[in-house]
């Protein structure tokens, strides 16, 4: 199923399906190593819509909540 | 041959350590024209050739997204030799920039840095194959130990460029993937202790505990080093070398002359007091070099270590949440923590905030509601003897002011605070050489940025005393002080001195026989009402006259209001 990064659970992995938003944002985040097709794992979440930390390969990045909402991932979940 | 050598690389790849190893002892830190982005420059000698080596701000690609990246891209020139520093433990991402550089036809050498880390991370890279794939020389290096740096310098003469290639980013990423999988072999291995800590320090609960611990230890260390330097180095030096000189000058000018008043200041009980005389050459110099500089040194030392360790981005992530409510970005936690030591480095560090709005809010909050170490110590000394509850009123009030002011500024200033998007680097043992080099550059920067202004400020205040302007101001403000804040008229002089030294001003409240409430009001107002001269000058330099005046206006208004509220509160 397709959800955004903020809907993922800590520790869960998903394949980045789409990145919404402006070209600048997409390029910036792509340059940091998060791009379509890469596998993202949530390392930590913060309360009150704080930033999430995500692992992509051997890179870890912290992403603000609003930005994380624009990143869609394909995850496998039971049911 | 006057070629330059430019170090290009992603952020957090140990570029600065490679730079320190390559460049000589003399390094310069400069601002890129028209920006606050700093870069470091040094010299490298190979045989009879002298190259200028430049540590370019870290960038992920040649499409710039921040001012620092823009500067990096603007520095790129085809006449120069590029050293592309690559994190050997993360070539899947790092090689993108490498390909961009190679595709644009730069003359370059790749430094495969953090080479020693690959072994225990279970990564094997075939260097010859990588060289062939990229078409440029590749040298494994370790900035921390200096391994491979000599070889890297030797390779500069054979730095190659390949024929420029035009392709899209998608194609480039595909190519990166292909190269990475063909030259790299991964084996399984166990997590190291540092790696376990990496994840723990990001977790909202354990991360917070670690943050509290780290801040606590850092402050202990900063105080220990700072006070040690003051008591064992700076004070003796000033007593033994500077004082005799000042005494001679004092006799030479005669204690009643105008020159004496300006340069030496007032005699306290018949002799010069370096802390209280308030002359340009006595207190002006002493406070700068003996009281503030040691703290700045210890602060920047600890900060440099935390930076190179890779801890700060984690702290920024944890703080981001709360900081956003105040209109700031997670990184603004650093100026705040720094300012608890001294506001001068605190405000200087707002340079790391990208947007002007953030810089303004952070400076405004820090200037007013974050008391510096020396001031905290004096408040504890004065108010603390009456009981801890009064201390909590003073510091609690300052904290409320910080939060309320942040929320209001965030609400009413146009714009929003940008969201955080940073890489969290792995923990790495800092390289002592680059930590020390960075410390040295920052100390020089502080002395150049702040010292002349503070001396000028002391001079101006002394002239104002001589011309009776201070007395005039005291008469104007005394109704405010007595009516609004309920303080005795004598407190006015303490408030005026507070412009020079806030800690001395708090001390001046002590002999006035104040009630507890007056002490609470006095200490709080002293913290809030006006920046000290060093802060004032740094604000002026960093933000310009207009914003500095805005901040100062805010401070006076808020101090008036808060002092009044405290005064009508039933504090007994």
Give contacts of B209 with chain A, Cβ < 8 Å: none
- Residue B540 and residue B472 share a domain: yes
pLDDT for the residue B32: 63
Q: Is the pLDDT of residue B503 over 80?
A: no
pLDDT classification of B30: cutoffs 50, 70, 90: low
Task: Name beta bridge partners: B271.
Answer: B268
A28·B65 Cβ contact <8 A: yes
* Structural domain includes residue B181: yes
Tokens of B272: 């010069």
- Residue B60 and residue B157 share a domain: yes
Task: Name beta bridge partners: B87.
Answer: B113
- Residue B251 and residue B145 share a domain: no
Pairing label, strands A59-63, A52-56: antiparallel
A27·B169 Cβ contact <8 A: yes
CATH code where residue B74 lies: 3.40.50.300
Gap between the Cα atoms of B546 and B540, Å rounded: 8
- Residue B504 and residue B371 share a domain: yes
* Structural domain includes residue B191: no
| Three-state DSSP state, B37 | coil
Gap between the Cα atoms of B164 and B161, Å rounded: 8
CA B558, distance to chain mean position in Å, is 26
* Structural domain includes residue B194: no
Q: Is the pLDDT of residue B206 over 60?
A: yes
Distances in whole angstroms, Cα of residue B58 to Cα of each of A46, B8, B468: 27, 7, 53
pLDDT for the residue B35: 58
Residue of B317, B310, B268 whose CA lies nearest to B419 = B317
Mean pLDDT of B535-542: 85
Q: What are phi and psi of B482, to 5 degrees?
A: -80, -45
pLDDT for the residue B36: 59
* Structural domain includes residue B193: no
- Residue B398 and residue B452 share a domain: yes
- The number of C-beta contacts closer than 8 angstroms across A and B is 95
pLDDT for the residue B97: 93
Gap between the Cα atoms of B531 and B347, Å rounded: 11
- Residue B96 and residue B63 share a domain: yes
Q: Which of B40-54, B194-208, B212-226, B341-355 has the highest mean pLDDT?
A: B212-226
Q: Which residues span the domain enclosing B291?
A: 204-568
Q: Between A24, A43, A50, which is nearest B321 by CB?
A: A50
Q: Is the pLDDT of residue B488 over 70?
A: yes
| pLDDT 10s digits, B141-195 | 998 888 898 999 888 888 878 888 888 888 999 999 999 999 988 887 777 777 7
B423·A51 Cβ contact <8 A: no
- Residue B146 and residue B12 share a domain: yes
Residue of B356, B344, B319 whose CA lies nearest to B334 = B319
Q: Which residues of A touch B (CB under 8 A)?
A: 24, 27-33, 35, 43-51, 53, 57-67
Least reliable range by pLDDT among A4-18, B244-258, B269-283, B446-460:
B446-460
Q: Is the pLDDT of residue B245 over 70?
A: yes
A62·B169 Cβ contact <8 A: no
Q: Of B186, B221, B238, at which residue does a domain stop?
A: B186
**ipTM of predicted complex:** 0.89
| pLDDT 10s digits, B325-359 | 888 888 888 888 888 877 887 888 888 787 888 89
Q: Between A29, A59, A67, which is nearest B90 by CB?
A: A59
Using the CB atoms, write b or e for B253-262: b if 16+ within 10 Å.
Answer: beeeeeebbb
* Structural domain includes residue B220: yes
Contacts 24+ apart (CB under 8 A), B440-449: B441/B27, B441/B29, B441/B40, B442/B296, B442/B300, B442/B304, B442/B345, B443/B293, B443/B296, B443/B297, B443/B300, B444/B29, B445/B29, B445/B348, B446/B293, B446/B296, B446/B344, B446/B345, B446/B348, B447/B293, B449/B348, B449/B538, B449/B541
Domains of chain A: 2-74 (2.30.30.90)
Q: Which of A31, A39, A55 to mutate to test the interface with B (most CBs of B within 10 A)?
A: A31
A64·B169 Cβ contact <8 A: no
B422·A60 Cβ contact <8 A: no
Give contacts of B426 with chain A, Cβ < 8 Å: 60
Q: Please report, rounded to a whole number, the percentage of residues in chain B having pLDDT higher than 90.
A: 22
pLDDT for the residue B186: 83
B65·A24 Cβ contact <8 A: yes
Chain A residue whose CA is closest to B318: A46
Give contacts of A59 with chain B, Cβ < 8 Å: 90, 92-93, 423
- Residue B374 and residue B269 share a domain: yes
Q: Which of B34-38, B371-375, B566-570 has the highest mean pLDDT?
A: B566-570
- DSSP per-residue codes, B487-501: --TTHHHHHHHTTT-
> Which residues touch B566 (CB under 8 Å, ≥6 apart)?
B393, B397, B485, B517, B520, B521, B524
- DSSP per-residue codes, B279-297: -IIIIIHHIIIIIIHHHHH
Q: Between A31, A48, A65, which is nearest B96 by CB?
A: A31
pTM: 0.80
The shortest C-alpha distance from B126 to chain A (Å) reads 19
Q: Of B186, B217, B245, at which residue does a domain stop?
A: B186
B330·A45 Cβ contact <8 A: no
* Structural domain includes residue B265: yes
Q: Which residue has the higher pLDDT, B129 or B49?
A: B129
The shortest C-alpha distance from B98 to chain A (Å) reads 12
Round the average pLDDT of chain B to a whole number and report it.
85
pLDDT classification of B29: cutoffs 50, 70, 90: low
Q: Is the pLDDT of residue A78 over 80?
A: no
B421·A63 Cβ contact <8 A: yes
Q: Of B186, B220, B255, at which residue does a domain stop?
A: B186
* Structural domain includes residue B196: no
Q: Between B63, B92, B317, which is nearest A58 by CB?
A: B92
Tally of domains in chain B? 2
Gap between the Cα atoms of B75 and B503, Å rounded: 45
Give contacts of A47 with chain B, Cβ < 8 Å: 204, 321
| Three-state DSSP state, B42 | strand
B65·A33 Cβ contact <8 A: no
The DSSP output letter for B94 is H
Q: What are phi and psi of B141, to 5 degrees?
A: -135, 165
B61·A48 Cβ contact <8 A: no
Chain B residue whose CA is closest to A31: B60
Give contacts of B96 with chain A, Cβ < 8 Å: 31
- DSSP per-residue codes, B359-404: HHHHHHHHHHHS--HHHHHHHHHHHGGG-HHHHHHHHHHHHHHHHH
pLDDT for the residue B377: 78
Which is it for the CA torsion B100, B101, B106, B110, positive or negative?
negative
B316·A62 Cβ contact <8 A: yes
| pLDDT 10s digits, B296-317 | 888 889 988 998 888 988 888 8
pLDDT for the residue B25: 64
Q: Between A28, A48, A61, which is nearest B424 by CB?
A: A61
pLDDT for the residue B1: 45
Q: Is the pLDDT of residue B2 over 70?
A: no
Q: Between B198, B207, B423, which is nearest A59 by CB?
A: B423
- Residue B274 and residue B156 share a domain: no
- Residue B550 and residue B463 share a domain: yes
Q: Which of A11, A59, A67 to mutate to test the interface with B (most CBs of B within 10 A)?
A: A59
Q: Is the pLDDT of residue B34 over 70?
A: no
pLDDT for the residue B247: 92
- Residue B289 and residue B143 share a domain: no
| pLDDT 10s digits, B397-439 | 999 999 999 999 998 888 877 788 888 888 888 888 888 888 8
Chain A residue whose CA is closest to B96: A31
Q: Which of B171, B199, B317, B318 to mutate to test the interface with A (most CBs of A within 10 A)?
A: B317
- DSSP per-residue codes, B517-552: HHHHHHHHHHHHS---HHHHHHHHHHHHHHHHHHHH
Q: Which residue has the higher pLDDT, A40 or B473?
A: A40
A62·B420 Cβ contact <8 A: yes
Q: Which of A58, A65, A70 to mutate to test the interface with B (most CBs of B within 10 A)?
A: A58
* Structural domain includes residue B197: no
- Residue B511 and residue B394 share a domain: yes
pLDDT for the residue B521: 92
B529, B498 Cβ separation under 8 angstroms: yes
Q: Between A30, A31, A62, which is nearest B422 by CB?
A: A62
């Amino acid at each position: 199923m397709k959800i955004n990064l903020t809907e993922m659970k800590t520790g869960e992995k998903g394949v980045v399906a789409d990145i919404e938003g402006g070209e600048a944002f997409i390029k910036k985040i792509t340059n940091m190593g998060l791009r379509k097709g890469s596998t993202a794992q949530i390392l930590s979440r913060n309360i009150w819509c704080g930033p999430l930390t995500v692992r992509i390969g051997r890179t870890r990045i912290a992403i603000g909540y609003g930005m994380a909402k624009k990143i869609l991932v394909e995850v496998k979940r039971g049911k | 041959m006057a070629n330059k050598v430019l170090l290009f690389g992603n952020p957090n790849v140990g570029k600065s350590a490679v730079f320190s190893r390559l460049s000589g002892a003399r390094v310069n830190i400069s601002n890129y024209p028209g920006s606050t982005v700093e870069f470091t420059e040094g010299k490298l000698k190979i045989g009879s050739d002298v190259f200028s080596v430049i540590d370019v701000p870290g960038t992920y690609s040649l499409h710039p997204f921040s001012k620092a990246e823009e500067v990096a891209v603007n520095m790129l020139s085809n006449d120069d030799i590029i050293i592309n520093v690559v994190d050997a433990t993360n070539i899947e991402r790092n090689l993108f920039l490498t390909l961009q550089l190679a595709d644009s036809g730069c003359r370059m050498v790749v430094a495969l840095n953090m080479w020693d880390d690959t072994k225990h991370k279970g990564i094997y890279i075939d260097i010859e194959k990588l060289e062939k794939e990229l078409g440029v020389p590749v040298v494994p290096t370790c900035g921390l130990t200096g391994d491979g740096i000599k070889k890297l310098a030797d390779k500069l003469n054979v730095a190659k460029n390949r024929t420029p290639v035009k392709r899209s980013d998608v194609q480039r990423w595909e190519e990166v993937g292909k190269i990475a999988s063909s030259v790299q072999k991964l084996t399984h291995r166990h997590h190291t202790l540092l790696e376990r800590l990496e994840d723990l320090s990001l977790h909202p609960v354990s991360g917070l505990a670690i943050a509290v611990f780290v801040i606590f230890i850092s402050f202990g260390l900063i105080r220990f080093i700072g006070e040690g330097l003051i008591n064992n180095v700076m004070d003796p030096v000033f007593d033994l070398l500077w004082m005799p000189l000042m005494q001679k000058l004092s006799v030479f000018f005669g204690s009643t002359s105008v020159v004496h008043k300006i340069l030496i200041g007032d005699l306290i009980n018949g002799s010069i007091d370096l802390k209280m005389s308030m002359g340009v050459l006595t207190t002006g110099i002493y406070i700068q070099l003996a009281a503030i500089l040691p703290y700045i040194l210890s602060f920047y030392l600890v900060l440099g270590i935390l930076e190179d360790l890779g801890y700060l981005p984690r702290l920024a992530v944890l703080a981001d949440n709360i900081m956003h409510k105040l209109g700031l970005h997670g990184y603004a936690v650093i100026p705040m923590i720094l300012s608890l030591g001294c506001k001068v480095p605190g405000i200087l560090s707002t340079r790391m905030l990208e947007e002007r709005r953030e810089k303004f809010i952070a400076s405004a909050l820090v200037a007013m509601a974050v008391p510096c170490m020396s001031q905290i110590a004096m408040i504890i000394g004065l108010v603390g003897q009456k009981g801890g509850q009064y201390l909590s009123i003073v510091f609690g009030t300052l904290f409320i002011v910080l939060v309320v002011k942040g929320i209001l500024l965030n609400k009413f200033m146009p714009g929003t605070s940008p969201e955080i998007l940073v890489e969290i680097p792995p923990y790495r043992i800092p390289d002592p050489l680059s930590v020390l080099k960075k410390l040295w550059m920052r100390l020089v920067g502080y002395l150049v940025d702040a010292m002349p202004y503070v001396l000028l400020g002391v001079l101006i205040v002394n002239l104002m005393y001589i011309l009776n302007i201070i007395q005039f101001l005291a008469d104007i403000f005394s109704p405010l002080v007595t009516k609004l804040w309920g303080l005795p008229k004598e407190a006015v002089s303490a408030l005026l001195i507070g412009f020079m030294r806030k800690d001395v001003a708090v001390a001046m409240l002590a002999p006035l026989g104040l009630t507890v409430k007056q002490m609470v009001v006095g200490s709080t107002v002293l913290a809030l009402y006006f920046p000290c001269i060093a802060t004032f000058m740094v604000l002026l330099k960093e933000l310009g006259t207009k914003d500095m005046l805005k901040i100062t206006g805010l401070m006076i208004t808020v101090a008036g209001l808060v002092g009044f509220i405290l005064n009508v509160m039933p504090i007994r």
